Structure 1
Amino acid sequence: MNKKWGFITLAGLLFLGACSDGEASTDEDGVRTLTVAVPPTSKPLSWEENGKLTGYEPDILRLVDEKLEDYEFDLVGVADSAAEIGLDTGKYDMIAQGLFKSEERAEKYLLPDENNGASLMRIYKRNDSDDIENMKDLVGKKIVPTTPTGGVFNFIMDWNENNPDHEIEFQTSDAGLSYADRMREVESGKYDALILPSNLGQNEIIESQDMQIVTTEPVEVFPTYFMIYKNEENEALRDDISEALAELKEEGKLSELSLKYYGEDVFQFTE
């Protein structure tokens, strides 16, 4: 099926925002054009290369769009926090940011029945730290500070609430350290461990910089979902995307993309 794929630069978002009223445009053939926000610098999840958005999420979106004759996706590169704000206001019709379901998101947005991936929470440690294999092993250990909001912070808070006998002490920080710098702090011995989802390109960093860092098996698995602007018209879009994702899973194409970008089939952990 021939479809036009658009890439809208960040500079053009002001124009988009001025024109958007929360409704996707529809051409004379009845095809709705949807503006979909993806990360521009989150390799391998999604990043811009040679003027084109590429990565796990963009490739899935292209496969989904091929199955949906009534829709055309325009991908735009948008930072995570700005993407959710834009979805709240209807500036974007959908966001694909490797996000997992929460009560708040399920209330605010439309989520497909089918997940499009998984965020595998893992512990990153020095390769000689044989005493760390799971969350209980982190009791009394020094943990790299987390950002005061977001998935890792919420995960540890939930763990402590549900496991009062194995409460983990940790600090928060807005320092904005890169993932490479955080892993170096573990490698140097400043901290004992780092907790992060493993879909943020850490394995590539470890290999390219020959770090003495290894990871545990997933300590938690969070299926990830597309988030769709909530209105009555988009309920049909949600159902169509759910059907397309189910077909792509059955065809093995999502597993292929997971192996391509993450080096493992994340869907083995969500079945």
Structure 2
Amino acid sequence: MKKISLVAIILASVMALTACGSSPSKDNSGAPSTGGGETAAAKVTVLKVARNAVPNPPFSYSNDKNEMEGYTVEYLKLLDERLPEYKFEYEQIAREAMLVGVESGKYDFAANFYYRNPEREAKYLFSNVEYGYSLNSLIVKNDRNDIHRLDDMRGKKLTPMSPSTGLRTVVVDYNKKNAGNPIIAEDIDAVTDAESVQWVASGKYDAFLTNTTVFDNVNAQLKLPLKIAAYITKEPIWVLFNKEKKDLAARFDEVTKALVEDGTLPALSEKYFKVNMFKPLEDVKLN
């Protein structure tokens, strides 16, 4: 009887060990192993990203190697690195097509130093944390000494502006508060920065309201007798999402906030704009 019992015990032990060996092993997280010693790969969601095809340095442009470079381009790379659950796939298209594509859902989001305004907020979802700023200034002829602030433009003519440009909102808001003596600013369907600076240089218009670094880059090529008369605003710029992408926008906000707090975006601003845009406007001085 003792021999039979001993055999039974041995058999039971072998069966138990066999059963244990056939059950899925677990990694340190407690998740079942795939059998190859690795946990199951997390699902990665592909994001369709609209990117401006028109060079707009220093936000985005092609370098000597025909690679996209610039402040916004580097910001998107940082997001892609810090959001492992997403993979970015870019399509370079015209500015207006970017807006239409995001609204329709063809693209998940677009980043092109967009400003906020009520019309856009009705169509798109905006992030809650700005990823940078646009430093805007008045450009005048070198011999003009009568324009030092936006108030000095009352009754004077700005170069025509596209209704879709964010800076148009600055002028509209100003004129609402100063209806008795507004800034003269015509609307135009399309205009280039080169055309605008040439109009100011010719004396056709008094000033050009534009992003400071855009002017620097354009006039570095044209070399017109123009100067920055005054820094006017430091406008926050935002990522613009399709209305259905609330979870995506929330994740962008988390990462963007961290990039600001750890100094990454301020350093990137110094690299491309030669100034920390995250400081107050009064700390940004004319050279």
* TM-score normalized with structure 2 length: 0.76
The residue correspondences of 1:170-189 to structure 2 (distance < 5 A) are: 170-174=185-189, 176-189=190-203
Query: Is the alpha carbon distance of 1:84 and 1:120 closer, same or farther for their aligned partners in structure 2, counting shifts above 3 Å?
Result: same
8 A contact 2:155–2:181 mirrored in 1: no
Once the two structures are TM-superposed, the CA of residue 246 in structure 1 deviates from its matched residue by: 1.0
The residue correspondences of 1:42-61 to structure 2 (distance < 5 A) are: 42-49=56-63, 50-61=65-76
| d(CA) in 1 for partners of 2:116, 2:161 | 20
* TM-score normalized with structure 1 length: 0.80
| Highest RCO, 1 vs 2 (Cα 8 Å, sep ≥ 6) | 1
Which of 132, 136, 140 pairs up with 1:121? 136
Summarize deviations over 1:42-97 as a string: whole Å, max 9, x none: 22222344453322111101111111121111122121110010001110011001
8 A contact 1:53–1:77 mirrored in 2: no
Where in structure 2 are there 5+ consecutive unaligned residues? 1-39
| d(CA) in 1 for partners of 2:119, 2:156 | 32
The residue correspondences of 1:1-12 to structure 2 (distance < 5 A) are: none
Partner of 2:43: 30
| d(CA) in 1 for partners of 2:157, 2:120 | 32
SS at structure 1 position matched to 2:128: coil
Which of 212, 220, 235 pairs up with 2:225? 212
The residue correspondences of 1:1-271 to structure 2 (distance < 5 A) are: 29-41=42-54, 42-49=56-63, 50-174=65-189, 176-199=190-213, 201-231=214-244, 234-269=245-280
8 A contact 1:100–1:119 mirrored in 2: no
Once the two structures are TM-superposed, the CA of residue 28 in structure 1 deviates from its matched residue by: 6.3
| d(CA) in 1 for partners of 2:116, 2:102 | 15
Partner of 1:17: none
One-letter amino acid matched to 1:244: V
SS at structure 2 position matched to 1:118: strand
SS at structure 2 position matched to 1:230: coil
Query: Is the alpha carbon distance of 1:191 and 1:157 closer, same or farther for their aligned partners in structure 2, counting shifts above 3 Å?
Result: same
Partner of 2:7: none
The alignment-based identity, stated in percent, is: 28
Q: Bigger CA drift: 73-82 or 135-144? A: 135-144
| d(CA) in 2 for partners of 1:104, 1:186 | 30
SS at structure 1 position matched to 2:99: helix
RMSD value, Cα: 2.3
Summarize deviations over 1:140-198 as a string: whole Å, max 9, x none: 32322222443233322221111224411232333x44212311221222222111233
Query: Is the alpha carbon distance of 1:140 and 1:102 closer, same or farther for their aligned partners in structure 2, counting shifts above 3 Å?
Result: closer
Partner of 1:9: none
Once the two structures are TM-superposed, the CA of residue 119 in structure 1 deviates from its matched residue by: 2.3
SS at structure 1 position matched to 2:174: helix
SS at structure 2 position matched to 1:218: strand
Partner of 1:7: none
8 A contact 1:53–1:75 mirrored in 2: no
Partner of 1:13: none
Greater Rg over alpha carbons, structure: 2
One-letter amino acid matched to 2:46: T
Q: Bigger CA drift: 47-56 or 183-192? A: 47-56
Where in structure 1 are there 5+ consecutive unaligned residues? 1-26
One-letter amino acid matched to 2:47: L
Aligned residues: 241
Partner of 2:12: none
